[in-house]
Amino acid sequence: MKRNILIAAFLVVLALGVVLSFKRSSYPENSSGEIRHFKHARIDEVIRFKNGETVEEYFDRHIHAPNRPELRLSIQGISEENRSSSPEYLEGMLLTHRVQSGETLEQLAEHYRVTPYQIRKRNNLSSCDVLKEGQVLQIVPGEKPAYRIRPGDDLAKIGKLFNVEPQRIMRLNHLESEQAIWAGQKLIMPLPQQKIDTIMETADRQKQEEIQRKKRYERELLARLTRQKLARQRREAKARAREEKARKTKARKEKKARLERAQRVFKYAGSKKFKHKIRVSATAYTSHRSQTDSTPFIAAWNNRIRPGMKIIAVSPDLIRKYGITNGVRVKIAGLPGTYVVRDKMNKRLHNHIDIYMGTDRRRALRWGRRRVVMYW
């Protein structure tokens, strides 16, 4: 039993020694540069290089690294030693490149054997963006010519875009049917990557131009609708102004007509024939027993009256105050001709006249009771 325990302990120590020796050989002490790499679901590790050692030499010492597709590298710029190095050892790996001073997108694309469009597309850059020192880019060297499917794409649409038959795309990508694709999937295309990038850049530019055209059309449409609305509002305002002007003109004309009528009525005030005027209440009466007495054709002062005569009766206060008595000729506003005072009214009435209508009772009822101006 003790012998088995000692053997197991010896094997554990031996395994630890092998692991430690492997780590010491992987990270030499006299290093001058470093590349940070990490694997999926593991903590970051650091690869240390010897003085003047390139990426190819490092992979020659650790030949297992290029065959591990899950390996990711983080490179601090393109050094003078590895600037001319071929990235064949790095093909298929996802690199995280930190931009150094003076590096351009074209230089990185040439070094990693990709196109500038692939770098811009993977890092969501536009053609107007400029690289900045310290900026981190993701690059896959030697990436195969491929097209990333966008939402709404199908094989017929993709084939028409690149002028390639959909069956050929299916054979290259081992697709069983045209529906076996999804947004974000990469399709290998039988075209050079430069041509694919050119077509995509042209399509993106046309799409942006179409979006700009739509926005410009919407702005013009909104402006046109706004102008039409303002024009309609101006027309309505002008129509309202015309109606208001017509209403005011009509009211002014009516007022002017009333004033003219009043002037025609009051023109007797300044004549030599009539020098006085007074506003009185005017009613009408006829030669009927119900309205006078038993002698309807005999008035006050023993005056005999008959239908057709223009005579009036006045209240006693007008006789007493103004001298409008028997035989005085008067003018009543609104009635043609002149009237003569031939009768008087009951003493209980004041400032009142009674116009004689003969025997026309209906005319007297139509006249009723009015306020009129009387001249004498």
- The token duo for 38 is 């990490």
Mean pLDDT of residues grouped by 10 in the chain (376 residues)?
70 67 43 37 44 56 41 51 47 76 82 76 81 87 73 83 81 76 78 75 85 92 92 92 92 85 53 79 89 83 89 94 91 90 91 93 91 92
pLDDT computed for residue 117 by the predictor: 74
Cα→Cα distances 131→101, 136, 354, 359, Å: 9, 9, 112, 118
Q: How many CB atoms lie within 10 A of CB 199?
A: 16
CA 369, chain centre distance (Å) = 67
pLDDT computed for residue 21 by the predictor: 56
pLDDT computed for residue 85 by the predictor: 45
Name the packing angle between helices 155-162 and 193-266 (round to 10°).
100
